Amino acid sequence: MTEKRKFDRIHLIHYLRLFDRKTGELIGNLVDLTSEGMQLISEKPINEGTLLEIRMEFPEDVDGQSELQLNAVAVWCDHQLDPDLFSVGCKLIPVTPSNVNVIRDLIDNYQD
């Protein structure tokens, strides 16, 4: 697969939990993040092109917020070393300036 990422991925020291905003179900755990995309680990495969309406919970407030709501489109999905887990690459859409600020602060606070 050709690398199309503009920004380096930042791996986080906390795997932040990602939930479906409509159903409240756990989608997966955030592995890495940029202001344009993310990678998550999921117990279920997520088809390319799937729109994810995400609620990301923080272990502590970031910029006075305990969560962030994002939309993302799955760009790829592949098995992890563990056959019961899937890695999913997503593109964030649209990314508002306030979301970019929170994402940058998350990266600053939680990068490994």
Per-residue pLDDT of the chain (112 residues; tens, 9 = 90+): 445 544 444 444 456 899 999 999 999 999 888 888 999 999 999 999 999 999 998 877 777 888 889 999 999 999 877 888 999 999 999 888 888 888 888 777 766 5
Cβ proximity of 46 and 72 under 8 Å:
no
Q: For residue 105, which of 55, 33, 39, 41 has the smallest C-alpha distance?
A: 33
User: 42 in a domain, yes or no?
Assistant: yes
Confidence at residue 77, expressed as pLDDT on a 0 to 100 scale: 96
User: 58 in a domain, yes or no?
Assistant: yes
Confidence at residue 70, expressed as pLDDT on a 0 to 100 scale: 92
User: 95 in a domain, yes or no?
Assistant: yes
The tally of domains found in the chain comes to: 1
User: 4 in a domain, yes or no?
Assistant: no
User: 2 in a domain, yes or no?
Assistant: no
Task: Give, as one character, the DSSP assignment of residue 10.
Answer: E
Confidence at residue 4, expressed as pLDDT on a 0 to 100 scale: 52
Domain that holds residue 71: 16-110
Confidence at residue 88, expressed as pLDDT on a 0 to 100 scale: 96
What CATH number is given to the structural domain containing 85? 2.40.10.220
Cβ proximity of 91 and 68 under 8 Å:
no
Confidence at residue 22, expressed as pLDDT on a 0 to 100 scale: 96
